[in-house]
Structure 1
Amino acid sequence: MPGTAATSRAADRRAFQILWFGQFAAIAGLTVVVPLLPFYLAGLGLPAGEVAWWAGVSLAAPAVTNLISAPLWGMVGDRYGHKAMVVRAHAGLAVAVGLMALADTPGEFLVCRLLQGACGGVVGPTATYASTLAAPHRRGRVLGSLFGATGAGCLLGPLVGSMLAGRFGYGALFACVAGLLLVAALLALSMLPHRRTVPRHRPEAGERPTLREVLRRIAAHPLGRTLVLAGMLGQAAVFALVIVFAPQVERITVSVSSATVWVGVLQATMWAACLIGGPWWGRRNDRGGAPVSFAIAAACCALAVALQGLPTVPEFLVPLRIVQGFCFAALAQSVLYVVCQIMPEQARGTALGTTTGLLDIGQVCGPLFGALVTGLLPLSGTFVAIGTLLVAASGLALLGARPRRAHSRPPATPVVPALPEVKP
Structure 2
Amino acid sequence: MADQTPDHAAAPAGRPGWRQHARRHRRGGQSVPATGGQGGPGMSSSMKASNWLWNFRVLWSAHFFSVASLTVLAPLLPFYLNEIGAGDTKQVLLWSGLALAAPAVSYSLTAPLWGKLGDKYGRKLMVVRALFGLVLTLLLMSIAKSPFEFFLYRLFQGAFGGVVDAGAAFAGSQAPEDQRGRVFGKLESAVSAGSLIGPLLGGLLVSFWGFKPLLQGLAVLVALMAVAAIFLLHEKRSRETTETEAYETSSGVFRTLQSFLRSRRLVAFLIGGLCANVAAYGLVPVFAPHVQNLTGDGENAAAWVGMLQAVMWGTALFGAAWWGRRNDKAPVERNFAWAALLCGIAVILQAVPEKVEWLFALRMLQGFAFSALLQSVFLEISKSSSAANRGVRMGSASSILVAGQVGGAMLGSTLGGFLSAPYVFLVLGSVLIFGAVVVKFAGHLPKVSSLRYGGGVFKR
Same fold (TM over 0.5): yes
> How far 1:195 moved relative to its partner?
3.7
Aligned equivalent of 2:138: 97
Aligned equivalent of 2:180: 139
Q: Could you tell me whether the CA contact under 8 Å between 1:123 and 1:356 is conserved in 2?
A: no
| Alpha-carbon distance in 2 for matches of 1:56, 1:230 | 26
Aligned equivalent of 1:415: none
Q: Does 1:127 align with 2:174?
A: no
Structure 1 pair 137/381, CA: closer, same or farther in 2 (3 Å)?
Answer: same
> How far 1:203 moved relative to its partner?
5.9
Aligned equivalent of 2:440: 398
Q: Could you tell me whether the CA contact under 8 Å between 2:173 and 2:387 is conserved in 1?
A: no
| Alpha-carbon distance in 1 for matches of 2:364, 2:384 | 32
Q: Could you tell me whether the CA contact under 8 Å between 1:83 and 1:195 is conserved in 2?
A: no
Structure 1 pair 253/90, CA: closer, same or farther in 2 (3 Å)?
Answer: same
| Alpha-carbon distance in 1 for matches of 2:354, 2:177 | 47
Q: Does 1:365 align with 2:430?
A: no
Q: Could you tell me whether the CA contact under 8 Å between 2:185 and 2:325 is conserved in 1?
A: yes
Q: Could you tell me whether the CA contact under 8 Å between 1:137 and 1:287 is conserved in 2?
A: no
Aligned equivalent of 1:306: 348
Q: Could you tell me whether the CA contact under 8 Å between 1:44 and 1:104 is conserved in 2?
A: yes
> How far 1:253 moved relative to its partner?
1.4
| Alpha-carbon distance in 2 for matches of 1:56, 1:214 | 31
The residue correspondences of 1:76-115 to structure 2 (distance < 5 A) are 76-115=117-156
Q: For residues 335-378 of structure 1, what are the alpha-carbon distances to aligned partners after superposition, in whole Å with 9 as ceiling and x for unaligned?
A: 10111111222100000011112111111111110011111211
Query: Which residue of 317, 320, 335 corresponds with 1:275?
Result: 317
Query: Which residue of 11, 26, 36 corresponds with 2:66?
Result: 26
Secondary structure at the counterpart of residue 251 of structure 1 = helix
Q: For residues 318-349 of structure 1, what are the alpha-carbon distances to aligned partners after superposition, in whole Å with 9 as ceiling and x for unaligned?
A: 00010110111111111101111112221000
Q: For residues 69-118 of structure 1, what are the alpha-carbon distances to aligned partners after superposition, in whole Å with 9 as ceiling and x for unaligned?
A: 11000000000001000000110011011100000111000001000000
Q: Could you tell me whether the CA contact under 8 Å between 1:31 and 1:154 is conserved in 2?
A: yes
TM-score (norm: length of structure 1): 0.92
Aligned equivalent of 1:422: none
| Counterpart residue type for residue 158 of structure 2 | G
- Of the two, which has the highest radius of gyration? 2
| Greater mean deviation of Cα atoms: 245-254 or 9-18 | 245-254
Structure 1 pair 17/362, CA: closer, same or farther in 2 (3 Å)?
Answer: same
Aligned equivalent of 1:327: 369
Q: For residues 2-21 of structure 1, what are the alpha-carbon distances to aligned partners after superposition, in whole Å with 9 as ceiling and x for unaligned?
A: 46221221111011100000
Aligned equivalent of 2:34: none
Aligned equivalent of 1:384: 426
Q: Does 1:211 align with 2:248?
A: no
| Counterpart residue type for residue 364 of structure 1 | V
| Counterpart residue type for residue 267 of structure 1 | Q
| Alpha-carbon distance in 1 for matches of 2:77, 2:387 | 40
Aligned equivalent of 1:72: 113
Aligned equivalent of 1:265: 307
Q: How many residues were matched structurally?
A: 407
| Greater mean deviation of Cα atoms: 299-308 or 140-149 | 299-308
Q: Could you tell me whether the CA contact under 8 Å between 1:199 and 1:205 is conserved in 2?
A: no
Q: Does 1:255 align with 2:270?
A: no
| Alpha-carbon distance in 1 for matches of 2:138, 2:382 | 31
> How far 1:139 moved relative to its partner?
0.5
Query: Which residue of 182, 192, 204 corresponds with 2:223?
Result: 182
Secondary structure at the counterpart of residue 75 of structure 2 = coil
Query: Which residue of 281, 284, 309 corresponds with 1:242?
Result: 284
Q: Could you tell me whether the CA contact under 8 Å between 1:58 and 1:113 is conserved in 2?
A: yes
Query: Which residue of 60, 82, 96 corresponds with 2:101?
Result: 60
> How far 1:204 moved relative to its partner?
6.1
| Counterpart residue type for residue 277 of structure 2 | Q
Secondary structure at the counterpart of residue 132 of structure 1 = helix
> How far 1:181 moved relative to its partner?
1.3
| Alpha-carbon distance in 2 for matches of 1:350, 1:61 | 22
Q: Which runs of 5+ in 2 are unaligned?
A: 1-28, 32-43, 451-460
Alpha-carbon RMSD: 1.6
Query: Which residue of 358, 370, 379 corresponds with 1:316?
Result: 358
Structure with greater contact order relative to length (CA < 8 Å, sep ≥ 6)? 1
Aligned equivalent of 1:165: 206
Aligned equivalent of 1:419: none
Secondary structure at the counterpart of residue 252 of structure 1 = helix
> How far 1:251 moved relative to its partner?
1.1
| Alpha-carbon distance in 2 for matches of 1:179, 1:250 | 37
| Alpha-carbon distance in 2 for matches of 1:41, 1:199 | 50
Question: Hey, which bits of structure 1, 4+ residues long, moved more than 6 A?
Answer: none
| Alpha-carbon distance in 2 for matches of 1:56, 1:94 | 23
| Counterpart residue type for residue 79 of structure 1 | K
Q: For residues 156-193 of structure 1, what are the alpha-carbon distances to aligned partners after superposition, in whole Å with 9 as ceiling and x for unaligned?
A: 01111111112211101211221121111111111111
| Alpha-carbon distance in 2 for matches of 1:394, 1:376 | 27
Q: Could you tell me whether the CA contact under 8 Å between 1:300 and 1:323 is conserved in 2?
A: yes
Aligned equivalent of 1:37: 77
Q: Identical aligned pairs, as a percentage? A: 37
Structure 1 pair 52/159, CA: closer, same or farther in 2 (3 Å)?
Answer: same
Secondary structure at the counterpart of residue 389 of structure 2 = helix
